[in-house]
Amino acid sequence: MSDPLLPDNAIEVRGLTKTYAGSKKAPPKTALKGIDLVVPRGSIFGLLGPNGAGKSTLINILAGVVNKTGGQAYVWGRDIDTDPRGARAALGVVAQEITADVFFTPRESLEVQAGYYGVPPAERRSDELLAALGLADKANAYVRALSGGMKRRLMVAKALVHNPPVLILDEPTAGVDVELRRQLWAYVRELSDRGVTILLTTHYLEEAQELCDTIAIVNHGEVVACEPTAQLLRRLDTRNVVVTPEAPLTAVPEIAGFDVTPRGDSFVVAYKTGQSSVEQVLVAVRAAGVRIKDIATEDPDLEDVFVALTYGDTSQVDPTRDDAVVA
């Protein structure tokens, strides 16, 4: 049963626009073109999009850092125009760039941050937050001596000092190792279990697929998709059959009616579920003279959907990937 004192939605955005003023050398730039977005209370909501899609502009408007051009935005039921202090108090933001008070200790950093938000000394949770984020043994070390991953964890702790009901994580695991990424994932789930609503932006599509209940994809300042993660993954009607032949092939076989690509000692046959089936793929493979040793089927993942919606062709390289080469 929902609490009537709590808003149904943690964040609501209606018709949000932002146009940056031009200059003598550059024309005005429209970053947001009428964004509509609803983030339900208690959810882990993913916000994805290529570089320059408008994600950071949206987050900065919610955080009160950038002024919107038009539309409405609410954080925890508070209008960012008429109740900006209330909206900001309901929000914790972990920025993409690592910022650190290098001459403070982690404990001092949290105490200062709590003071900014007017948290009484008796209600501060500095040691609790440091322990939760694995920084208890570094509480009295200088921040400048911390590793990049530790500084990022400290930023998460600073965003939580005032116990906000909504937390924005902007690329929280960028540049951290796999182990730390998994630790942060676990802590995000723990926060969600406590009722904190989380808005997550990330270039690690595996991360969004693993954590998020709902995902919105933004491209060129517009929302091109906003659906539960499982439903979004069903958007593509393309499936893959990975075929391992009994004998190594000198070339990828040509199979009539299907796209075929090599993969190590195997090859991948793509088919559309509304037009073909696995059985038809296997018949076509055998008709091409291939003796089959093993097969496996693959459903599309979030990367396939993301590329299809933002670049229009799943065969193109996704420039958000770490191994992508962009000219």
Q: Tell me the CATH number at 263.
A: 3.30.70
Task: Output the pLDDT for position 320.
Answer: 38
Read off the pLDDT band of 222 (50, 70, 90).
Answer: very high
Which comes out higher in pLDDT, residue 172 or 31?
31
Strand segments (E) across 76-153:
78-79, 91-94
Residues 113 and 53 in one domain: yes
Last residue of a domain, one of 229, 248, 275: 229
Residue 173 burial (C-beta neighbours within 10 Å; 0-12, 13-18, 19+): buried
Residues 275 and 145 in one domain: no
Q: Is the pTM for the entire model greater than 0.75?
A: yes
| Mean pLDDT of the region 192-216 | 91
Residue 136 has pLDDT above 60, yes or no: yes
Residue 161 has pLDDT above 70, yes or no: yes
Mean pLDDT of the residues in the chain: 88
Q: Is residue 46 part of a domain?
A: yes
Residue 276 has pLDDT above 50, yes or no: yes
Residues 211 and 259 in one domain: no
CA distance 162 to 168: 14
150-154, 176-180, 188-192, 253-257 — which one is most confidently predicted on average? 188-192
Q: Is residue 310 part of a domain?
A: no
Residues 252 and 210 in one domain: no
Residues 55 and 143 in one domain: yes
CA distance 188 to 178: 15
Residues 28 and 150 in one domain: yes
Domain hosting 265: range is 238-299
Residue 4 has pLDDT above 70, yes or no: no
Read off the pLDDT band of 321 (50, 70, 90).
Answer: very low
Counted domains in the chain: 2
CA distance 138 to 141: 5
Q: Is residue 65 part of a domain?
A: yes
| Mean pLDDT of the region 97-107 | 87
Q: Is residue 114 part of a domain?
A: yes
Residues 225 and 243 in one domain: no
Read off the pLDDT band of 182 (50, 70, 90).
Answer: confident
Can you read off the two tokens belonging to residue 8?
A: 């149904």
Residue 185 burial (C-beta neighbours within 10 Å; 0-12, 13-18, 19+): middle
Residues 291 and 166 in one domain: no
Residue 322 has pLDDT above 50, yes or no: no
Residues 94 and 16 in one domain: yes
Read off the pLDDT band of 314 (50, 70, 90).
Answer: very low
Task: Output the pLDDT for position 172.
Answer: 86
Task: Output the pLDDT for position 2.
Answer: 55
CA distance 185 to 211: 7
Read off the pLDDT band of 325 (50, 70, 90).
Answer: very low
Residues 218 and 252 in one domain: no
Residues 152 and 99 in one domain: yes
